[in-house]
Amino acid sequence: MPIGSPPSPAEADPANPKLCTEGDPADNGLDMGTGFDCFDPKANTVTTGLTPEEAHNRHLLLDVMSRHGFQNYPKEIWHYTFQPEPFPDTYFDFAILPHPGSGSGEPHTP
């Protein structure tokens, strides 16, 4: 899966966008047609070449997130920002703990 760095720290601020994508199949994740942080045109919210299941999952995610006040970034189906941003000038730094049963006992720190 292609991994890339966001263009600016503001776009990666955990207080700002919320990144959503497919998860581990053992974790009951949904297939969105691309991996996390894929910057191929297939990662665009509106794209072609998806299976019916992938398209359905994307519409489901977009609908749920939109109904709860999140705005999608059109070039990344997994990228959402809460509107209005509650802390637009604040950066948060915290450990991300593994999901129980994932096999990893070490937290990921940014």
Residue 76 annotated to the active site:
yes
Is the distance from CB of 77 to CB of 50 less than 8 angstroms?
Answer: no
Domain segments of the chain: what residues?
14-110
Kindly report the length of the chain. 110
The residue-averaged pLDDT of 70-96 equals: 90
Sign of the four-CA dihedral 36, 61, 13, 105? negative
pLDDT in tens, 24-80: 556 667 899 998 788 899 999 999 999 999 999 999 999 999 999 999 999 999 899
pLDDT of residue 44: 96
pLDDT of residue 103: 64
14-110 carries CATH number 3.30.1380.10: yes
The token pair that represents 49 in the structure block = 């070449």
DSSP 37-92: T--SGGGSSS-SS--HHHHHHHHHHHHHHHHTTEEEETTEEEEEEESS-S-TT---
**Which of 11, 76, 85, 106 is the catalytic position?**
76
Spatial separation of the C-alpha atoms in residues 13 and 37, rounded to whole Å: 15
Give the number of other CB atoms < 10 A from CB of residue 61: 21
